[in-house]
Amino acid sequence: MPRGLPKAVKKSLEKARDCALLAVETYNKPAVKFKSGGYIVLMVISWTALFHAIFFKQKKKPFYKDGRFFKKRDGDYCYWELSVCLKEYFGAESNNPIRKNLEFFIPLRNMIEHKSIPELDADIFSECQSLLLNFDKIVENEFGKKYCIRESLSFALQLFPSSKSLNNAVIENPSNKPIVDFIKSYRNSITTEIRESGEYSFKAFLIQVANHDSKNSLPIQFFSYDKLTEEEKKKVNKVAALVKNKHVQVPVQNMDLLKPSKVVDRVQKGLGNPKVVRNGKEKDKFTQHTHTQCWYAYDVRPHNGHANPERTKSEYCIYDAPNNSYLYTEAWVDFLIEEMQIEEKYNALYN
């Protein structure tokens, strides 16, 4: 690190940069499953150290006070945590997108510190990316380009994690529900302007271009949307529309409907993969037989051979005439997960 900064500033800034680089290294390792968890924990430490460096530069002491004196624990000062640093740095600027991005991660960090959440990696990727880009932006604003970490980073040569939804994350691991509820609630609490800001959530299209003869051109170049001309923005938006339309204009029948076997699998996982003993043998709590008992008990569809097979409760079940079979909705899965957690209702299926 270049010289010239006071010792306390330099020490905190070194810690901030090292933690940020370690966070990126953790996220970009293909074998690491604790991607978002490790990345978020390290980036929160990094941001906290960065704010401490800024306050030291401003001749402020980022320590908690006990009356007239600074608090100490185990012989060292008690430093401000990140939430306190945000209030000190941004003040009344409560709707700053960078602040909102950080406020998203503070409670999330506390919730996932001791958990592995690979199911959520894809969904919070854009906020994670902004967390890193904003870090370098503040470093440059406060200390200059020579302290930025962007020159130490490269484009990650790995496949992006699968695009699973938040609902899938809960189905695959019910213990994720409090985290998912927080993510949805927080995103709904901020304005559309903030949510669409690149400083809160970074999104990009990566488009392959033809090879060219220029030896001086970089294979991958990044252009900030905010710095494009209005004409260039129009072209980018046209490309985005083409990409979107290419994927939504192909009709797919029954895409959101589920076969009985899939319903059984989803409900069993949604219940936490519990086991029961029946006829002296241990079995899954929710089986094909349980599912049959359910659609019969809740009168969701007619019996096989009924004269009017189409008479179903359409919110839960649809008759597929060409295949002479029944398909089920996501609402049916959610309903069963909720109902089968009530032991009286589950046991009533077998009485």
Three-state DSSP class for 72?
strand
- Secondary structure class of 242 (helix, strand, coil): helix
pLDDT of residue 326: 94
Most confident of 58-67, 164-173, 241-250: 58-67
Range with lowest mean pLDDT among 139-143, 162-166, 226-230, 312-316: 162-166
Per-residue confidence (pLDDT) for residue 15, from 0 to 100? 95
Residues whose CB is less than 8 angstroms from the CB of residue 78 and which lie 6 or more positions away in sequence, other chains included? 63, 64, 70, 71, 72
- Strands 317-320 and 325-328 turn out to be antiparallel
pLDDT at position 142, please? 94
Q: What pLDDT, on a 0 to 100 scale, did the predictor assign at position 141?
A: 93
pLDDT at 243: 53
Beta bridge partners of 328: 258, 317
Model pLDDT for residues 274-296, shown as the tens digit of each residue: 999 888 889 999 999 999 999 99
pLDDT at 159: 45
For the ranges 192-201, 284-293, 297-306, the lowest mean pLDDT is seen at 192-201
- Model confidence at 158, pLDDT cuts 50, 70, 90, reads very low
| pLDDT band (50, 70, 90) for residue 32 | confident
pLDDT at 201: 87
Q: Is the pLDDT confidence value at 133 over 60?
A: yes
Question: pLDDT-based confidence at 169, cuts 50/70/90?
Answer: low
* Percent of the chain whose predicted confidence (pLDDT) is above 70: 77
Find the Cα–Cα–Cα–Cα dihedral 345, 349, 350, 351, rounded to 10°.
Answer: 70
> Residue 151 and residue 148: Cα distance in Å, rounded?
7
pLDDT, residue 197, reads: 84
State both tokens at 269: 């996982």
C-alpha torsion sign, points 134, 138, 140, 141: positive
pLDDT of 2 reads: 47
With a cut of 80, say whether residue 121 has pLDDT above it.
no
Q: Which residues pair with 325 in a beta bridge?
A: 320
Confidence of residue 176 (pLDDT cuts 50, 70, 90): confident
Mean model confidence pLDDT for the chain: 82
Residue 326 three-state SS: strand
Can you read off the two tokens belonging to residue 260? 């009985």
pLDDT over 70 (residue 210): no
Least confidently predicted of 85-89, 121-125, 132-136: 121-125
| Residue 195 token pair | 């949510």
pLDDT in tens, 15-26: 999 999 999 988
What are the backbone dihedrals phi and psi of residue 333, each rounded to the nearest 5 degrees, phi first?
Answer: -60, -50
Burial level of 126, CB count in 10 A (0-12/13-18/19+)? middle
Decide if pLDDT at 160 tops 60.
no
Query: What pLDDT was estimated at residue 45?
Result: 95
Is pLDDT above 70 for 239?
Answer: no
